Structure 1
């Protein structure tokens, strides 16, 4: 895969999270739950490659709850959405379902996700206070709580400490101005070197930067994409392309290849999976790279994704389903999940564990989570984000006027939001 490719997990450079909740694996023939001989069977639909590891956790749950059997089904990402729609229409689906955070509004509005607002009364593991505020935001739709945070995904800065030091930075850039300055100085090394990589096709990037510049993105149902805070953030992102410190096109290298060696691209923004990938694929870089919280303007808000666990509205085994979700919400369970699939825990207490506190590159993600927010939890957001990508391409590739382009995009967003 190529460096800067939109869908490569290893390259979310200055790009944000396309929402993480990918739905995974292989489907199964039956999705109904049952009770027999005093034992209840619940079905859990898992999403993403990690779902293949979910049965290991389920077995531990069954040891503590011998009267509940967990049947895990892994759904491939490209089939999951349609399969969920079929389940909603037929009212025959899983008891528990992993939901990518951007899918929550659609399925909650369809009435297919159980309201868990009072569930914490019986299962304190589900209480909102246990989780990062940004993750909790992803579970709320129309004043209902329709999910519980499971694992998180946010973005931080990756940088080559040795190369930054050579251009005068003993620490990571802490502000927008420092990030721009460092990128230009790194580009000035000459040759085919750049300062930073920015994937303009990552839809959340400009929204993340706009929030850092003080934009609220939306005021109720009114888009704010042609206001100064948002427009200036788009100009800032475009400045890296204009001054040549970021490559405008695919440079033919994957993320690790561009990061190691001479450091063709010595800075990028990405998610937690890159820590293991760099350690595995570039062990010679040990001591020469680090992660840091994002540089700030008005703030340093990062994009937030991940997955939630929801209970299907039509489950016949509500208590068993909630008991499983509560088990998955425990810090010790989420730490075990971290060991299995390297997914960062949503439970705040889990971050006190030495496995995370003693790894400086992972610890940064816990710090950044204190200032991370999901995209607006509305059904129309994906359509708005796709419309933005088309507008933004006119700017960084075609040199279109930023204000005029954002005026047009804002009007398009108004049209999208006006449709129910």
Structure 2
């Protein structure tokens, strides 16, 4: 999924959603209705540098769908800061869209509400079959052993973006492959008001994505095999401390990044204020901010040691956007037809090119447009060294609780307060206490 700033109320709303008989779609103020079978409401997530960018990308395609089918699509692009709570509210109120984007990490949590249409074999057949989609994308569509709650739309992976000139100016000849090398490079360029690495320290979801990867590299996870929260194991504590220490101890992230929550680190990188950026499929975003592809390189996210992609050297979560349908939409045929259109080979090429993401549809992924240097690292990562976040019902509460704990630790680092193993463990213990009791 793309970066979000999940509100603390998300866990509360989700608990409510799990406690009621969830419904959704068919909004009298916007969703499909029996009186308007030729109309759908679509909530799209903010994928571009701004909401207007998304409207510019999507509107021509939605008009194309209307011309082909006669079904008009009412579009709302929802900011990431609002999307999860908007969806959760819709599952309890019934006042929602017909079709919507969800971050793929939320799939199991939203699946457990019962509000989303299950994509069984029959429904997959209506859009061309399940085998059209790559396995890594299908792995983030819901709990194991259950029919997916959504269909993959955009696939993304994290990569290390680095400023070629800033590296050359201090004699760095290749991108760092390990975290020790990243810290060394970051210290070399952190001078004269410039910094080594950007971060979104106040963004819980961004924090989760990074500490999840660090945990995997330490051979750990934040959940046990049976789905129970386990935030204070040694590997999880090491993971969080190592990430926050990039600011607290290593001094390669500017203290001001503790307050960043919505793409500011991308902007800093595009303006040459930082030399490195850890981001999901950033090329289109950087281009929209005036940075030429010739000015930066792309490499796999660093690992603890050795070559990326081997052993526990996970260097990304499986990032992406899924397309879901509210189960009680009054226009199920139209909604299914829309999903078929958006995941068609032709539309996958258009949309994923616009967002510099990777198509989760096999035929589209093989197109030459997705075999450029800018996408090669992302495809390789998704194929070999990316792991899905836990597909458990409590995943969205995990993002809020642990992501906020990391946010608070960044705030401590920025204020000059000591970040120790004990203080990290205490924050994670507090986060675990916020999780639903099993």
Q: Report the TM-score range of the alignment, normalised by the length of the smaller protein.
A: 0.7 to 0.9
User: Contact 2:43–2:78 at 8 Å: present in 1 too?
Assistant: no
Deviations 1:298-319 (A, max 9, x none): 4132134432111211124434
State the 1:386 CA deviation. Answer: 1.8
**Which residues of 2 match residues 341-420 of structure 1 at below 5 A?**
342-358=356-372, 360-370=373-383, 371-377=385-391, 378-384=395-401, 385-394=403-412, 397-419=415-437
User: Contact 1:140–1:147 at 8 Å: present in 2 too?
Assistant: yes
Aligned to 2:10: none
In 1: Cα distance, 2:124 partner to 2:29 partner: 35
State the 1:148 CA deviation. Answer: 0.4
Deviations 1:108-156 (A, max 9, x none): 32221011122455236451661351x3233204723110011133321
1:231 aligns with 2:248: no
Aligned to 2:12: none
SS in structure 1 of the partner of residue 153 of structure 2: strand
In 2: Cα distance, 1:52 partner to 1:82 partner: 25
In 1: Cα distance, 2:349 partner to 2:84 partner: 28
Aligned to 2:182: 179
In 1: Cα distance, 2:246 partner to 2:332 partner: 52
In 2: Cα distance, 1:260 partner to 1:122 partner: 43
Aligned with residue 44 of structure 2, among 43, 46, 66: 46
Aligned to 1:303: 317
User: Contact 2:241–2:421 at 8 Å: present in 1 too?
Assistant: no
1:248 aligns with 2:255: yes
State the 1:274 CA deviation. Answer: 4.3
In 1: Cα distance, 2:117 partner to 2:5 partner: 22
**Which residues of 2 match residues 200-279 of structure 1 at below 5 A?**
200-202=201-203, 203-204=207-208, 205-219=210-224, 220-241=226-247, 242-249=249-256, 258-259=268-269, 263-278=272-287
More displaced 10-residue stretch of structure 1: 169-178 or 93-102? 93-102
User: Contact 2:119–2:150 at 8 Å: present in 1 too?
Assistant: yes
**Which residues of 2 match residues 131-150 of structure 1 at below 5 A?**
131=134, 133=136, 135-141=137-143, 143-150=146-153
User: Contact 1:28–1:74 at 8 Å: present in 2 too?
Assistant: no
SS in structure 1 of the partner of residue 71 of structure 2: strand
User: Contact 1:176–1:296 at 8 Å: present in 2 too?
Assistant: yes
User: Structure 1 pair 94/128, CA: closer, same or farther in 2 (3 Å)?
Assistant: farther
User: Contact 1:18–1:305 at 8 Å: present in 2 too?
Assistant: no
RMSD over aligned CA atoms reads: 3.6
Structure 2 segments unaligned to the other structure (5+ residues): 7-26, 305-311
Aligned to 2:31: 31
User: Structure 1 pair 156/70, CA: closer, same or farther in 2 (3 Å)?
Assistant: same
SS in structure 2 of the partner of residue 32 of structure 1: coil
User: Structure 1 pair 28/270, CA: closer, same or farther in 2 (3 Å)?
Assistant: farther
State the 1:269 CA deviation. Answer: 1.4
In 2: Cα distance, 1:260 partner to 1:62 partner: 37
Aligned to 1:101: 104
In 2: Cα distance, 1:166 partner to 1:131 partner: 41
SS in structure 1 of the partner of residue 195 of structure 2: coil
State the 1:95 CA deviation. Answer: 3.0
In 2: Cα distance, 1:248 partner to 1:82 partner: 29
Aligned with residue 65 of structure 2, among 57, 61, 66: 61
In 1: Cα distance, 2:259 partner to 2:90 partner: 42
More displaced 10-residue stretch of structure 1: 344-353 or 111-120? 344-353
Aligned residues: 389
In 1: Cα distance, 2:288 partner to 2:90 partner: 41
Aligned to 1:194: 195
Instruction: Give the TM-score taking structure 1 as reference length.
Output: 0.77
Structure 1 segments unaligned to the other structure (5+ residues): 1-15, 22-26
SS in structure 2 of the partner of residue 389 of structure 1: helix
Deviations 1:147-177 (A, max 9, x none): 0011133321111234434555432111222
User: Contact 1:395–1:405 at 8 Å: present in 2 too?
Assistant: no
User: Contact 2:231–2:429 at 8 Å: present in 1 too?
Assistant: no
In 2: Cα distance, 1:201 partner to 1:30 partner: 33
State the 1:416 CA deviation. Answer: 2.4
User: Contact 2:280–2:319 at 8 Å: present in 1 too?
Assistant: no
SS in structure 2 of the partner of residue 243 of structure 1: coil
